[in-house]
């Protein structure tokens, strides 16, 4: 078989853990950038959406591992882990992964060492919580929803607990799920127990974000998300990386691999800074006051 760099075209198997607007946008930007970077050689994609179902994730990982694709791309930490266990030779490109080292798929972010590289989307929850606490009225009970089987979210929630502990009088209220179907009930469980909700980079929760917005936001509680989704009804704001930009970073990393650099030597791409996007309709409905330091740099729409 010819080396990757010498092939005339490329076929990429792509596993998406769940459907969500921010995930779809990230995947599209990855595909567009990889196709642009490899032109005039054509790049085609075979996309599998696991719909947030753990059994489908495992099946899709086995299918991709048995495919003849030139390289494999994955978005969603559980899906990356599942595929990395099945495929240990061909390149696996992780899109917007939280903690590749903690998940055991890379030795380090700068030199992964194996067959997995890509991009990371981890943002310390303290960077998100600190500005939230400047918005008036400030919360005293911060709610969150997450899937504890997601290794990325285990790391993120532990960091969120530490960030909450720094703010005197602030309590963290947690609701857990096992998949997107559980999101509505988890959201309902937070109504009356939290006066603000912060959703982390959990693909399963993002797939059910409209239920979070309608249930929690509809009850007059501010909802903040770290992974896009500010346009969802009832969501107040997103605070986090520019995810389409993370997709572009990942496309460039994948192109470097296809052009011949060994996967283990290609560093993971890192997002730079965080972005505040405010839903004006929700802001007006809630009557919240954002400080000038946030409004001066935020996108309001």
CATH of the domain at 26: 3.40.50.2300
Poorest-pLDDT segment among 82-86, 138-142, 183-187, 297-301? 297-301
Residue 191: its pLDDT value, please? 97
Q: Does 273 have pLDDT greater than 80?
A: no
Which stretches within 39-150 are classed as H helix?
54-65, 77-86, 125-132
176 and 234 housed in the same domain: yes
76 and 154 housed in the same domain: no
- Gap between the Cα atoms of 30 and 214, Å rounded: 30
List the structure tokens of 20: 């969500």
Q: Which residue has the tokens 């591992």?
A: 65
Mean pLDDT estimate for the chain: 93
Residue 51: its pLDDT value, please? 87
106 and 142 housed in the same domain: no
pLDDT tens digits, one per residue of 202-223 = 888 988 999 999 999 999 999 9
Who has greater pLDDT, 176 or 55? 176
87 and 141 housed in the same domain: no
Residue 18: its pLDDT value, please? 84
Helices 151-165 and 125-132: crossing angle, nearest 10°?
Answer: 40
Q: Of 252, 205, 248, 201, which is closest to residue 227 (Cα–Cα)?
A: 201
Domain that holds residue 259: 4-120+243-265
Q: Does 1 have pLDDT greater than 80?
A: no
Q: Is residue 187 part of a domain?
A: yes
* pTM of the predicted protein model: 0.79
Order of strands across the sheet that contains 116-120:
43-49, 10-16, 71-75, 92-97, 116-120
Handedness of CA 56, 181, 238, 174 (dihedral sign): negative
- Gap between the Cα atoms of 44 and 54, Å rounded: 26
Q: Does 228 have pLDDT greater than 80?
A: no
């Amino acid at each position: 078989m010819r080396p990757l760099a010498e092939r005339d075209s490329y076929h990429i198997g792509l596993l998406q853990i769940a459907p969500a607007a921010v995930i779809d946008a990230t995947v599209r930007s990855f595909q567009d950038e990889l196709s642009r970077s490899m032109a005039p050689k054509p790049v085609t994609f075979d996309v599998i959406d696991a719909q947030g179902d753990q059994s489908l994730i495992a099946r899709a990982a086995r299918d991709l591992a048995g495919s003849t694709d030139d390289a494999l791309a994955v978005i969603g930490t559980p899906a990356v882990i599942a595929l990395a266990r099945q495929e240990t030779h061909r390149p696996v490109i992780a899109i917007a992964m939280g903690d590749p080292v903690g998940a055991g798929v890379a030795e380090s972010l700068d030199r992964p060492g194996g067959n997995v590289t890509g991009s990371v989307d981890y943002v310390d929850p303290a960077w998100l919580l600190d500005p939230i606490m400047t918005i008036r009225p400030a919360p005293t009970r911060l709610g969150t929803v997450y899937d504890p089987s997601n290794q990325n979210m285990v790391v993120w929630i532990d960091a969120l607990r530490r960030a909450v502990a720094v703010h005197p009088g602030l309590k963290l209220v947690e609701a857990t799920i096992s998949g997107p179907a559980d999101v509505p009930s988890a959201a309902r469980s937070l109504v009356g127990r939290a006066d603000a909700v912060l959703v982390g980079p959990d693909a399963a929760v993002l797939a059910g974000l409209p239920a979070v917005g309608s249930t929690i936001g509809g009850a007059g509680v501010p909802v903040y998300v770290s992974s896009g989704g500010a346009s969802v009804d009832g969501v107040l704001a997103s605070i986090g990386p520019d995810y389409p930009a993370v997709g572009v970073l990942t496309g460039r990393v994948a192109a470097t691999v296809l052009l011949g650099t060994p996967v283990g030597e290609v560093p993971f791409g890192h997002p730079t800074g965080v972005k505040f996007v405010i839903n004006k309709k929700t802001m007006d409905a809630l009557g919240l006051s954002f400080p000038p330091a946030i409004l001066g740099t935020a996108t309001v729409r």
